[in-house]
Chains A and B, each alone.
Chain A
Amino acid sequence: MPPNESSSISKHWCDGVIEVRNLRYRYPGSEGPDFALRDVSFSLEAGEWLGLMGANGSGKTTFVRCLNGLNRPSFGQVLVDGLSTDDPHALYEIRKRVGMVFQNPDNQIVATSVEREIAFGLENLGIPVRSMRKQVAAALKRFSLEPYAQISPNRLSGGERQRLALASVWTMEPRYLILDEPTSLLDPAGKRDFFQLIRRMLKTRKVGILLVTQYPEETLDCDRLLVMDRGCIRFNSDPVSVFRHRSPLRRLGLSVPVEAELGALFA
């Protein structure tokens, strides 16, 4: 089905969900028959929390970049509330709805001060100055970045920069939040805070969250855990059931939480 047709058809009944249908993706200019993503189908509903694990190179980042149109499908479709990422006119709206936090915060921080960094996205959305000030202040407070408001982001530590990247996206109030290993530099307090925030967003804002992580224990409270392997989704189930497959996961280069590993010794 050509993408432009389907986007208008599905607009009405696809609200509140990101739907990926038979997605295949090949990097432009890449040689050979290899697809980075080979037939991925999945959905993320508003208010739902999904985990995504996979070895380095399994296609996680390629996949999440498809969800807001940074990568366009070679085959198949990605529909955000019924809007297709193949439709250039829908991209602005899609990116407003799908917030993304990357693994290395330095890849997304652009401004010269913490405050301006948070304001940057809001400015682009055309938020009036007065309410923007309020929102920036709230984000600084929420993410304990107040003391650094005037400081240059490159003065912050890795964990603080990760917090800043999240704060900037949070303040734009996306409907869906795609988090690509956002906790890799966070300390325990930062992680605690991060997961509290996720819970609150799920509850009060009904945000749909996709959390990519290498730490299996971080996925234990997810609604579903997806495991990617060489461009395919191999597992898609509740985390406790997924972690029963200890040796297949290990063969994919992944570990299971310590408590699942050791808990299996007990009757």
Chain B
Amino acid sequence: MNIQVEELFYTYRSPFFPEHRALAGVSFEIEHGEMVAVVGASGSGKTTLIQHLNGLYRPTSGCVSVGGRNLSDPKTDLEMIRTKVGLVFQFPEAQLFEETVEKDVAFGLKIRKLPEHTIRRRVRKVLNRVGLDPETFGRCVPFHLSGGEKRRAALAGILVMEPEVLVLDEPTAGLDWAGTCQVEAILKTYHRSGRTVVFVSHDMDLVARLADRVLVLSGGRLVFDGRQAVLFRRTDVLKQAGLNLPRVVRFMRILRRKGMPVRTDVYTVQEARREIQRVFRLNPDYRRLAINNKINIEN
């Protein structure tokens, strides 16, 4: 299911408040099966953009089509589109509302009037998939789960619909490291099962680990669209969009500046460790390089 966005403009209008143009002429295409990150400063239009992908917002001008259907066309069945494009909001756990995790996850299937046994089977499957054992967690009150568990329960509520395209807004914000790893694994598996995944994130390390392609927004315009490795060399784009390099990349660049010939296109701590050890084997002297264990958070 391809997504096409053409010359998309969106302006927030209200009789009470001044106009605010959030998107100004954004165009791109996402092919089926891609893993795409959307990044940019706060207020650059990321959330507004992704809320167009299932027709939640209507373009002020321009066009968004999913699977060849123009979402602004009154003949397009948005209900159907929303089963194909699953949207996970920021802090989705705030929307958990049922008495039990099972019921909450089943909600979307219930309103689609699927048979009871199908619902039960799919709910069990999806709970396993997000690492919440149906026996232990199914009957739990969502309110009593920890933050990471709640987040995964909320994710399950969307995944259970088996959307072709999964769109997520800051899926790991507020999660601990273990929770982040779990959500990361869920997204990876979902992507590998042949689905499209589009996510918004501020965490450039997550973007580096997960995405193949990155869209960069700045002031409502698309200022970069390409592979992550290319983006990390484009300091001009990063600066314009107010973005940082991933911390792993920054660390490797510091090593290079100190004269250690490491590659800088590594994105996980494991890859970086292997790369550093590779260079140690070539020349053990580098072990004695003076490393400051603090890199200022502000650069």
Q: Which residues of A contact B (CB under 8 A)?
A: 54-57, 103-104, 106-107, 113, 150-152, 155-160, 163, 181, 184-192, 195-196, 214, 217-218, 220-221, 240, 243, 250, 253-255, 257-263, 265-267
A253 is contacted by which of B145, B176, B288 (Cβ under 8 Å)? B176
13 contacts between A and B (CB under 8 A): A55-B148, A56-B148, A103-B174, A104-B94, A150-B17, A157-B42, A159-B42, A188-B244, A195-B298, A217-B247, A218-B297, A262-B276, A265-B276
Whether A155 contacts B17 in the complex (CB less than 8 A), given A187-B202, A266-B289, comes out as yes
A-side contacts of B180, CB under 8 Å: 214
Do B94 and A158 touch across chains, with their CB atoms under 8 A apart?
no
A-side contacts of B170, CB under 8 Å: 158, 184-185
Chain B's closest residue to A261 (CB) is B269
A258 is contacted by which of B46, B145, B269, B298 (Cβ under 8 Å)? B269
Do B291 and A259 touch across chains, with their CB atoms under 8 A apart?
yes
Contact with A along B165-193 (1 / 0, CB 8 A): 00001100111111110000000000000
A-side contacts of B16, CB under 8 Å: 152
Whether A189 contacts B242 in the complex (CB less than 8 A), given A158-B42, A160-B42, A184-B173, comes out as yes
Do B176 and A267 touch across chains, with their CB atoms under 8 A apart?
no
Do B177 and A255 touch across chains, with their CB atoms under 8 A apart?
yes
A-side contacts of B291, CB under 8 Å: 259, 262-263, 266
B297 is contacted by which of A156, A221, A255 (Cβ under 8 Å)? A221
| B150–chain A nearest beta-carbon distance, Å | 8
Complex interface residues of chain B between 52 and 96 (CB less than 8 A to chain A): 90-91, 94
Complex interface residues of chain B between 81 and 130 (CB less than 8 A to chain A): 90-91, 94
A104-B147 Cα distance, complex, nearest whole Å: 12
Whether A220 contacts B174 in the complex (CB less than 8 A), given A157-B43, A186-B202, A259-B247, comes out as no
Chain B's closest residue to A61 (CB) is B147
B-side contacts of A181, CB under 8 Å: 174
A254-B277 Cα distance, complex, nearest whole Å: 24
A188 is contacted by which of B176, B243, B276 (Cβ under 8 Å)? B243
Do B90 and A185 touch across chains, with their CB atoms under 8 A apart?
yes
Do A258 and B293 touch across chains, with their CB atoms under 8 A apart?
no
Do A55 and B247 touch across chains, with their CB atoms under 8 A apart?
no
A240 is contacted by which of B242, B288, B294, B298 (Cβ under 8 Å)? B294
Chain A's closest residue to B48 (CB) is A157
B-side contacts of A257, CB under 8 Å: 247, 293, 295
Do B293 and A260 touch across chains, with their CB atoms under 8 A apart?
yes
Do A156 and B174 touch across chains, with their CB atoms under 8 A apart?
no
Complex interface residues of chain B between 242 and 299 (CB less than 8 A to chain A): 242-244, 247-248, 251, 269, 272-273, 276-277, 280, 286-295, 297-298
Do A56 and B91 touch across chains, with their CB atoms under 8 A apart?
no
Chain B's closest residue to A106 (CB) is B94
Do B178 and A253 touch across chains, with their CB atoms under 8 A apart?
yes
A159-B247 Cα distance, complex, nearest whole Å: 20
A75-B247 Cα distance, complex, nearest whole Å: 42
Query: Taking each of A156, A214, A254, A255, which has the highest tally of chain B beta carbons within 10 Å of its own beta carbon?
Result: A214
A187 is contacted by which of B147, B243, B248, B287 (Cβ under 8 Å)? B243
B-side contacts of A217, CB under 8 Å: 247, 295, 297
A-side contacts of B173, CB under 8 Å: 158, 184-185
Do A56 and B176 touch across chains, with their CB atoms under 8 A apart?
yes
